Structure 1
Amino acid sequence: MSLPDNSDEGSGGEYDPNTSLSGLKEPQPQIPFDPGAMVEAIPAAVWVTKPDGIVQFFNRFYLDYVGLSLEEALKEGIRAAVHPDDDRAFVQLFDEVGKRKLALQCELRMRGADGIYRWFICSLNPSFDANSRLLGCCGTCINIEERKKVEAELRRNEAFLAQGQRLTATGSTWWNVKTGEIIWSEETYRQMGYPPDVAPTVDLAMNRLHPEDAERVAATILGNSAKGLDIDMEHRLMMPDGRVTHCRIVLHNQQDSENPVYVGAMANITGWKESEARERRNALLLAAGERIGRTGTFSWITDGKDLTASPEFRRILEFDENENITVEKCLSRIVPEDVATLIGKTPGTLAEMANAEHDVRIRATDGSIRHIKFIGQVETREDGREECLGAVRDVTQQRQAEEMLDQLRTELSRLTGAMSIAEMAASVAHEVNQPLAGMVANASTVLRMLSTETPDVPAALEAARRGLRDANRGAEVVQRLRALFRKELPVMSLVDLNGAVREVLLLLRSSIRRNRIALRSELALELPLVRGDRVQLQQVVMNMLKNAIETLEHVSDRPKSVQVVTGLTGDGEAEFVVQDNGPGLRPEDMARMFEPYYTSKPHGMGVGLFLSKSIVESHGGRIFMRPQTGFGAVFGFTLPVARS
């Protein structure tokens, strides 16, 4: 049966209450009730078609809904009210009813008098005669708009729930213990590793238990469910691919203990468990690192008194494990003189004092003194409060080692000077020999001048003066030598750097001549004085010059030269520079030249430049070196000039 276009002529007619709804043309016997009135009372759209599909009747509900008279509705036909997107399904409904000779239905939207389409469930019931010929159809359309809205809202909520469960990795479950019926949500299926078309059972769930957890979990679930007790536990699952996940199961019994029915959730806590394990490991590593590095950490909200401290912090400041730590208790551990120094150095609030770096001493319970380095930084938290994050480090061993190193450096400096005595003896002997020879020659001259019959007194006096000058020169050489090797504390005074350099050049003059080195000195005029120990500074100058001389010992393919320069840097500091044209510096020497016991010479000890660096830095200066373009190297140092 095809559905005609109701706009055709003769497509409708008046409703005759004596005509049956089955489409029979023969008049039926009169009954004591009005069937038309009953049809009009049905709260649904009712319509009747002829065998050819032409609608010949609409009830009042339909007419009121579409806002048409019977004549208008019969003329337009029912398809005029059907949504265009549903028209095809409506036509197919008529065709299927005619082919299959069955009552069928479909859902479609129909336009109301207000122009709004609403959902209806349309049922079409065919009527046949004894020979299976179609007599007509009776159709009903029941408004399901509210049901559709509820279904849409339900689908929306289900989508939100599924998405929420996926995002939170939490599935839901329902379990009737008596019947064994179980319902899993989509997320529970995903976590259990089963496809959604598999009916869930207790055995399926047990098959996923980690072997090490299976006995414990099975005993808890079966034991609690037998008594109707709630279940809350954590365990591991093992997937078919070998993956291990952690989950938490929470099941609540909604009924009595005799007929338990559980509703609950299953949360994947693998990420949380892994984070927890990482945090534990990090805490252990931090604690081990703090213990090895003797460094404790703390946190202090500056508008309060209490501190949160690490175990190493407690150990360093000797606080018990559960003792409440306050700022006042920490300050009480510090030596009183250092507390006064702290307050004087950083006047203001405790927070301002904490936002700095300090070196303090604390007195231990055994009476010993410990050296502590404190570093703090105050940050503003999200809630607007200020928090000091800091660390304390026990540097007692470091301070003791530094003191020992200073003593060793002093001894080593003296020893280095003493070890150079054999080398310097020749230079000193040469320097002393010259004035001694002059003294002998001048004394002989005096004797000769005075032993004649007519003594030449003026000439004798001149010779005596020359002898006295030579004696003074010899005494100066001996005095410098004694000062160099005498174990004395540094004597800080105003030093003429040019004069100190000249004296060292005199001592090394014979060595320079012996090695056929061309020496060029450019000492700045009116060079400001520096403050320091003259002997120590001369030791640095001598070490650099000796290194330059020794570097040139094996140079034979070019003239040997050493240049000595003094002057002022751009920063206004006094500078001393030695430049040679020897083989230069190797790349590996550049990074280690000032390290102790490192030397590039076959028979060197590696202490000269190390001590020179220590001396220069103790004078507030800076030592440096750099390679030369072509041949040679440059060594030197700078010192602050003395201020009046």
Structure 2
Amino acid sequence: MAWSARPDGPTEFLSKQYLDYTGLAAEQARGWGWTAVVHADDLDGLITIWQTIIASGKAGETEARLRRFDGSYRWFLIRANPLRDESGNIVKWYGVNIDIDERKRAEDKAVEAEGELQRTIDDIPALVSAYYADGSRISINRREREFTRLSAEDVTNGGWRGAIHPDDIELEESKWRACVTTGEPFEHEYRVRAVDGTYRWHIARRVPLHDEAGKVIRWYGMSHDIEGRKQAEAFLAGEKQLLEMIASGSLLRDVLGALCEFIEGAAPDCFCDVHMIDWISSTFEYAVAPSLPSAYSDPIAGMPVSGELLPCGIAALQKIQVVAVDIELDPRWYTSPVRSHVLRHGYRSVWSTPVCSKEGRVLATFCIVQRKPAAPSPHHQDIIAHATQIASIAIERSLIEAALRRTETLLSEAQRLSSTGAFSWRVDTDEIAFSEELYRIFEFDPSAPVTLEQIRERIHADDIPSLTAQMARVRGGQSHLGYEIRLRMSDNRVKYLRTFGQVIRHHDGRMECLTAVQDDTGRRQAEEALGKARSELAHVTRVSSLGALTASIAHEVNQPLSGIITNASTCLRMLAADPPNVDGARETAHRTIRDGNLAADVIARLRALFSKRAPTIEPVDLNEAAREVIALSAGDLQRSRVVLHPQLHEGLPLVAGDRVQLQLVIMNLLRNAADAMSGVEDRPKRLVIRTEHDEDDYVRLSVEDAGAGFGADGSERLFEAFYTTKNEGMGIGLSVSRSIIDSHCGRLWAAANDGPGATFTFSVPEYSKYRSSGVQVGDSPRSVGVR
């Protein structure tokens, strides 16, 4: 629809199409009459723009709705151009109105669709953004606006970068630039800052929108909150690291410290500690609390578990969780010392949870404190359950490993002390495994594997047939019994071994021989020494006509020998049991070794005593020497119905003396005391052995009985040779005992009790007294000027 107007704006001409469309007559439309068909909402704007164009003298255009002859309105694009004369003055305006109603309706629909899309996007439970083809951001949805509080300007001018974590922005932008360049969708994870300043992990996926030609015209991105997943992944990773620490054998304190830090990371504002419990003393052993001040956690060590005033104590004893939401206001803790302790360090809430083993035994308590009053949330309860489970695993493993180490140490020490090793022999492969002690017995290199050929080379030539027969029986599946065998060492020394073992058959049918091997060489040598000692004692008896002395010495020697035989028999029965009683056998082996050593020492030192050689002086623990004698005499005393009351004073200094000779004196005094009460029927047969300090740096030992006493001859005659109050005694025991004590620069005497019985006492000098007097170990004490 064409038209023309004068330079100042009134219309002069309107085309037929214009008049037909509007239904106006030419006279009606000229001038400003055409304004009658302009939509009321568009008229003021149209006139203002037309006046602006006239004033500028430049071409211009605008949009407005014009009424059709039937009363309907349609959108038109109205354009005006000036016509100028040669002088440049405007002489007329020419214009054209182009119907754009269909385009406007399409645009309105697009706007409506865009609005609907925006409303839909706003309702999506994720962060959604729209981008131009070049990657610049257009808009964000309501959820992202609410989450980040980004303004419209932030969205379009790049301010949105401030909402991304600084550590993630570079990676996010590099991936986004690559995505825009390639036109390929991409996905990545990054952290977005929330309104409260915290960052939460999101996973973003951005996809392109293409036109019909395949060109990218827009991008859309959607980010989902994965903070929960990230926390779960971090939690699982932390648990895995803790379990790896446990599996690798890390120290328990280190594991529990890492556990506390792990829980504190998963529960901000919480401070954790683990209280280990020693149930033997019913006290808290120690606390592990890496984030708490030592002044807060250290005092827990040694505190009793019992009582109603400690949250951890109640949790441990009752196996329940104890929650103090506000320990300052909760009346349960008004009288508890823990209340002031907690408040003094600035904490208010205390949650204590027992850490239990699989069997339900309380191992420790897990405690969380906070600086403000609080109750555990479901999240807190979940992580507390994880913490107590991991702590239980760590503590149980530590206890098991400690017990295993103790068992291994005890077994190793038992093997060493009893000279008993062990080996296994896989019959089908001839694979041999030696224990450490057995390597020592065979004198093999412990770093090299052992073969059957090496063992055969070490066996005494005369015993090879016996070994071959035993191996044949094992290969035939027969039970493996004990036997003796000899070793010929590289320097021609001979070792005597005793073996005990059995054949076991595994579930896969393979046979394995498990054998204990004891080095019996010492016992053989002791028997030989004992035989020689008996011969010498018999010779002394014949020469001196003191047959009774021989009987007394034989009694001293037979005492440990009887113990050896009894213990060895017991050990065999324990090892032959099914299953073998290894712990009992080990303890019996200890007693066998002790008795064997005592027998050998008795023989050697009795010979020294009666050959007038000076005793060998060494530091001696008189209490320990007395305990060994008590152990040897226990059987005889029980059979005599004597009740022994040891009163051995602890902390006594070591004395200077010959251990075996002093034990002979103690043995003689105990036996005399028991004999003195043999006829007592009207009162308890009470025997007291006592050690204590004596004056002038001496230590005394007393043996008190409730027997018949001295008799009329007094106490001094008791120590004369061949004087006795017994019907069958020879009267040499106390005389020999006094000579032994005299040789130790000591004194032996007797005194009557206030009641029935007598007390025999000897006093010997402390070892330090000899050292200060210049006497060396092994010197005779006769050279020392003491009483």
Q: TM tier, shorter chain?
A: 0.3 to 0.5
What TM-score do the two structures reach when normalised by structure 2? 0.27
Higher relative contact order (CA 8 A, sep 6+): 1
TM-score by length of 1: 0.32
